[in-house]
């Protein structure tokens, strides 16, 4: 009997056939699944189509009553544009949505010397209202027609007609010599169809244009600001994306550094949703926008619409905004607390007065001279304190050497020397603290000083922007792609001042303390980088201020303060018994107790 053997070729053949059969079955299954999905989608679309058709049939009666057949969004009429204009501003309104498509400020140009438009197809205003049958109307999609009977010079009335006697109407009114625009929304015979709830809302969004040379610097002062409650003011973050829901809104400001778009309702509105998104990632010369702003404003109504607003399109200038007496001047940020107070009541009036008869660059120099002279008593006290510390330095160094291993004893002896000599190392720091509010107030003043915009001085063609003397073919991180001269001059002046004061201002280096020389020398370098993209007016102020401080110190050193007399006074003070009281007494007692405890611990 012949023995049956397994043919390897047959085995390979069976495996191949099995694989082919498996592939064919899987392919057929996928095709069936795809066919079934297509059938399901078709069935779903048919069902949805029937559902929509049924919905249309159910709501057709209401729609016919309302006249919605006249509002077919697909039946777009030819867009028409209407114009409102005075000597300051030109407003263009489109028939599509009845909204503003252009707001041109006639007296201003951007950094490219092009017409400055706050709005140029970068804004959307949409009234959204719900119907009782569940539908929704977006006015931005409606076709509006001008009402010639109500429209006249400085006033534009536009209607979207639903049916005879049913309409929604927008009205714009512009007064002569004003950046303020009255805006009202009214309707007729919609109360039976509109859902009277807070689902109705006004949506306002805007992408703010770049108008300055440095987009990063401009973006730093472009922000969404709002007034709320009892004259409170707040703002969203200038970096990244920020959003808030706010009650009792008075006004909403979309600030574009030196220019502003502000919406002012005639009464407070709550549950307003605000959002700001940063669009600037780097210092790019091709960047067109800085921020994207959006607001959702609930509108409660018990029947027909009757809402009134004011709209401001104009410069973000404190004096201009305050003329309207509605609080929108608070959108200009001159600093918080005492810093804002100093700017509003001292520096703004002072600068306005000087610049009324002097060029703006000279006005900055004159104001700086006045500020430095006003602070000269502080400079004098600071210098006297530095001289005392310079005289005591050899004795301080001896104490440090003698008690190098005993920190408590070293501190006790040092304080005892200061007390006997009538010197206080902190008195050199106090003048700097006194000057800090002035320093920060001016730091807040110059970047938002509208009067400096596009005003030239020496090589700076715009005191509100950087003063480039050389454009670089590359970008230096944290510095930029150009070299500004005023920050260099200011940094040199700070360095010279540091060199003059470092030898006598600081006490001898204490073990374990940070190297103050390194920190002081680092400041000019930091300023050089930090201010390269800042307002040249601010850098001019710091340069002149530090230059004047150097001159004042030279005068005080050579003509006012006699170091030999201070030395004699210190020696006389050492001979007098001096009673230690207050904080110094408590501190000395605490040190003595610590020293006593240390001795007890060492004996154990």
The domain tally of the chain equals: 2
Both 252 and 119 in a single domain? yes
Both 322 and 359 in a single domain? no
Structure tokens at 6: 């397994």
Could you tell me how many residues make up the chain? Answer: 604
Report the Cα 526 to chain-centroid distance in Å. 22
CB contact at 8 A, 186 and 97: no
Residue 560 pLDDT: 67
- Residue 4 domain-assigned? no
From 305, 333, 361, give the residue that closes a domain.
333
For residue 156, the domain's CATH number is 2.70.98.90
Structure tokens at 234: 């707040």
Phi/psi for 82 (5° steps) reads -125, 150
Closest CA to 562 of 427, 405, 384: 384
- Residue 574 domain-assigned? yes
- Residue 10 domain-assigned? no
Whole-angstrom distance, CA of residue 330 vs CA of residue 157: 31
User: 530-574 pLDDT, tens per residue?
Assistant: 888 888 999 999 899 889 888 887 887 777 666 666 666 666 666
CB contact at 8 A, 483 and 470: yes
Both 310 and 373 in a single domain? no
- Residue 131 domain-assigned? yes
Both 315 and 353 in a single domain? no
- Residue 137 domain-assigned? yes
Whole-angstrom distance, CA of residue 443 vs CA of residue 420: 40
Both 202 and 93 in a single domain? yes
* Regions of the chain with pLDDT less than 50: 1-7, 9-11, 14, 28-30, 32-59, 61-67, 69-74, 505, 507-508, 512-514, 583
Both 505 and 451 in a single domain? yes
Both 467 and 449 in a single domain? yes
- Residue 262 domain-assigned? yes
Residue 594 pLDDT: 63
- Residue 42 domain-assigned? no
Closest CA to 440 of 538, 544, 307, 316: 538
Mean of per-residue pLDDT scores for the chain: 78
Both 543 and 396 in a single domain? yes
CB contact at 8 A, 418 and 424: yes
Both 284 and 433 in a single domain? no
Q: Which residues are bridge partners to 187 per DSSP?
A: 168
Residue 6 pLDDT: 43
Both 501 and 400 in a single domain? yes
Strands (DSSP E) contained in 488-565 are none
Both 325 and 381 in a single domain? no
Note the pTM of the prediction, 2 decimals: 0.75
Residue 579 pLDDT: 56
Q: Which long-range contacts (CB under 8 A, 24 or more apart) does 499-508 make?
A: 500/550, 500/553, 501/386, 501/553, 503/390, 504/386, 504/387, 504/389, 504/390, 504/393, 505/386, 505/389, 505/428, 506/389, 507/389, 507/393, 507/396, 507/425, 508/393, 508/396, 508/397, 508/400
Both 365 and 393 in a single domain? yes
Whole-angstrom distance, CA of residue 125 vs CA of residue 147: 20
Residue 4 pLDDT: 39
Q: 419 is in which domain, residue-wise?
A: 343-585
């Amino acid at each position: 009997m012949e023995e049956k053997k397994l043919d390897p070729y047959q085995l390979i053949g069976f495996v191949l056939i099995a694989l082919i059969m498996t592939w064919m079955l899987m392919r057929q299954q996928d095709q069936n699944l795809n066919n079934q999905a297509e059938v399901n989608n078709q069935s779903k679309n048919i069902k949805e189509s029937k559902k929509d058709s049924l919905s249309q049939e159910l709501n057709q009666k209401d729609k016919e009553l309302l006249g919605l057949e006249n509002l077919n969004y697909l039946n777009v009429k030819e867009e028409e544009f209407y114009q409102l204009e005075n000597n300051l501003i030109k407003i263009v309104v489109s028939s599509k949505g009845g909204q503003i498509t252009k707001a041109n400020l006639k007296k201003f140009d951007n950094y490219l010397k092009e017409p400055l438009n706050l709005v140029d197809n970068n804004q959307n205003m949409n009234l959204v209202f719900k119907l009782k049958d569940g539908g929704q109307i977006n006015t931005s999609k409606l076709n509006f027609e001008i009402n010639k009977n109500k429209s006249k010079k400085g006033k534009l009335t536009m209607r979207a007609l639903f049916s005879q006697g049913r309409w929604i109407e927008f009205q714009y009114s512009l007064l002569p010599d004003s950046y303020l625009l009255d805006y009202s929304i009214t309707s007729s015979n919609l109360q039976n169809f509109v859902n009277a709830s807070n689902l109705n809302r006004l949506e306002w969004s805007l992408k703010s244009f770049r108008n300055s040379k440095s987009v990063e610097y401009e973006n730093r002062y472009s922000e969404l600001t709002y007034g709320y409650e009892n004259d409170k003011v707040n703002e969203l973050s200038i970096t990244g994306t920020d959003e808030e829901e706010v009650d009792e809104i008075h006004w909403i400001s979309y600030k574009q550094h030196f220019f502003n778009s502000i919406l002012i309702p005639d009464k407070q509105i709550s549950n307003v949703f605000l959002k700001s998104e940063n669009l600037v990632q780097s210092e790019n010369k091709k960047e067109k926008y800085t921020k994207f702003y959006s607001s959702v404003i609930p509108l409660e109504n018990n029947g027909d619409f009757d809402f009134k607003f004011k709209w401001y399109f104009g410069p973000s200038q404190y004096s201009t905004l305050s003329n309207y007496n509605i609080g929108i001047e608070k959108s200009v940020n001159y600093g918080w607390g005492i810093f804002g107070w100093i700017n509003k009541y001292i520096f703004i009036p002072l600068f306005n007065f000087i610049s009324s008869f002097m060029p703006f660059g000279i006005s900055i120099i004159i104001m700086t001279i006045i500020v430095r002279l006003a602070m000269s008593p502080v400079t004098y006290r600071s210098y006297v304190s530095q001289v005392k510390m310079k005289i005591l330095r050899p004795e301080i160094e001896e104490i440090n050497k003698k008690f190098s291993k005993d920190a408590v004893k070293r501190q006790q002896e040092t304080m005892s020397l200061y007390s006997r000599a009538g010197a206080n190392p902190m008195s050199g720091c106090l003048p700097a603290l006194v000057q800090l509010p002035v320093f920060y107030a001016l730091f807040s003043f110059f970047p938002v000083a509208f009067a400096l915009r596009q005003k030239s001085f020496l090589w700076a063609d715009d005191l509100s922007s950087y003063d480039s003397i050389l454009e670089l073919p590359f970008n230096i991180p944290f510095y930029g792609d150009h070299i500004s001269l005023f920050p260099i001059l200011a940094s040199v002046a700070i360095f010279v001042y540091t060199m003059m004061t470092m030898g006598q201002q600081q006490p001898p280096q204490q073990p374990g303390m940070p190297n103050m020389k390194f920190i002081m020398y680092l400041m000019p370098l930091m300023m050089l980088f930090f201010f390269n993209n800042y307002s040249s007016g601010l850098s001019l102020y710091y340069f002149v201020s530090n230059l004047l401080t150097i001159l004042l110190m030279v005068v005080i050193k050579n003509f006012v303060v006699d170091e030999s007399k201070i030395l004699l006074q210190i020696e006389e003070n050492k001979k007098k018994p001096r009673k230690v009281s207050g904080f110094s007494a408590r501190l000395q007692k605490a040190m003595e107790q610590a020293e006593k405890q240390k001795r007890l611990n060492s004996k154990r």
